Structure 1
Amino acid sequence: MASIGIFDSGYGGLTVFKAIVAKMPDYNYIYLGDNARAPYGNRSFETVYQYTLECVQWLFDAGCDLVILACNTASAKALRTIQQNDLPKIGPEKRVLGVIRPTAEIIHQYSRTNHIGILGTSGTVASNSYVIEMAHFAPEIQVSQHACPLWVPLVEANAYQTDAAKLIIRSDVEQLLLADKAIDTILLACTHYPILKPIIQQFVPESVNIISQGELVADSLEAYLKRHSETETGVDRKGDMLFYTTGEVSDFEAHASLFFGKDIKAQSCNVVKK
Structure 2
Amino acid sequence: MRTKNAPIGIFDSGVGGLTVMKDITGRLPSYDYLYLGDSARTPYGNRSFESIYRFTLQCVKYLFTQQCHLVILACNTASAKALRTIQQRDLPDLAPHKRVLGVIRPTAEVIGLHSDTGHVGVLGTTGTIQSDSYKIEIKQQFPRLSVYQQACPMWVPLVENGEHNHPGADYFVKKYLDQLRQQSATIDTMLLACTHYPLLISKIRSMLDTGISLLSQGPIVAASLQDYLKRHPEIDEQCSQNGTRRFLTTDAPELFDHHAATFFGQKVQSEYVEV
Provide the C-alpha distance between the structure 1 equivalents of 2:116 and 2:195, rounded to a whole number of angstroms. Answer: 24
1:200 aligns with 2:204: yes
Q: Which amino acid is 2:257 matched to?
A: E
Aligned match for 2:145, one of 119, 125, 141: 141
- After TM superposition, the structure 1 = structure 2 runs for residues 165-176 of structure 1, keeping only pairs within 5 Å, are 165-176=169-180
Q: Which residue of 2 aligns with 1:98?
A: 102
When structure 1 is superposed on structure 2, of 155-164 and 191-200 the one drifting more is 155-164
- Structure 1 position 254 matched with structure 2 position 258: yes
Inter-partner Cα distance in structure 2 for 1:190 and 1:156 = 13
Separation (CA, whole Å) in 1 of partners of 2:226 and 2:247: 21
Do the aligned residues in 2 keep the contact of 1:253 with 1:264 (CA within 8 Å)?
Answer: yes
SS in 2 for 1:12: coil
Matched, 1:7 2:31: no
Report if the CA contact (8 A) 1:48-1:77 is conserved.
yes
Q: Cα deviations across residues 192-235 of structure 1 (Å, max 9, x unaligned)? A: 10000001112111111110000000010001000111100011
Equivalent pairs counted in the alignment come to: 271
**Preserved contact between residue 174 and residue 203 of structure 1 (Cα < 8 Å):** no
Distance 2:221 2:37 in 1: 18
What's the secondary structure of 1:140's corresponding residue?
A: coil
Determine the structure 2 residue equivalent to 1:116: 120
2: CA distance between counterparts of 1:164 and 1:23?
A: 34
Residue 89 of structure 1: how far off its partner (Å):
1.3
Distance in 2 (alpha carbons) for counterparts of 1:26 and 1:105: 26
Provide the C-alpha distance between the structure 2 equivalents of 1:161 and 1:215, rounded to a whole number of angstroms: 22
Identity of aligned residues (%): 52
Q: TM-score, normalised by structure 2?
A: 0.97
C-alpha RMSD over aligned residues: 0.7
Runs of 4+ residues over 6 Å off in structure 1: none
- Structure 1: gaps spanning 5 or more residues: none
Secondary structure of the 1:6 match is strand
1:160 and 2:164 correspond: yes
Task: Tell me the CA shift for residue 91 of structure 1.
Answer: 1.1
Deviation at 1:165, TM superposition (A): 2.1
Match of 2:24 in 1: 20
The equivalent residue for 1:31 is 35
Q: Which amino acid aligns with 2:250?
A: T
Name the CA distance, whole Å, in 1 between partners of 2:64 and 2:96: 12
Equivalent in the alignment of 1:218: 222
Match of 1:268 among 260, 269, 272: 272
Where do 1:47-62 residues align within 5 Å? 47-62=51-66
Q: Which amino acid aligns with 1:39?
A: P
Give the letter aligned to residue 34 of structure 2: I
Mapped to 1, the partners of 2:154 and 2:245 lie a distance apart of 31
Q: Distance in 1 between matches of 2:205 and 2:33?
A: 32
Indicate which of 51, 70, 73 corresponds to 1:69: 73
Q: 2 CA distance for matches of 1:259 and 1:161?
A: 13
Contact 1:41 1:124 in 2 (8 A): yes
Q: Which runs of 5+ in 2 are unaligned?
A: none
TM-score when normalising by structure 1? 0.98
Which amino acid counterpart does residue 32 of structure 2 have in structure 1? N
Residue 44 of structure 1 corresponds to 48
Deviation at 1:163, TM superposition (A): 3.1
Query: Counterpart of 2:13 in structure 1: which amino acid?
Result: S
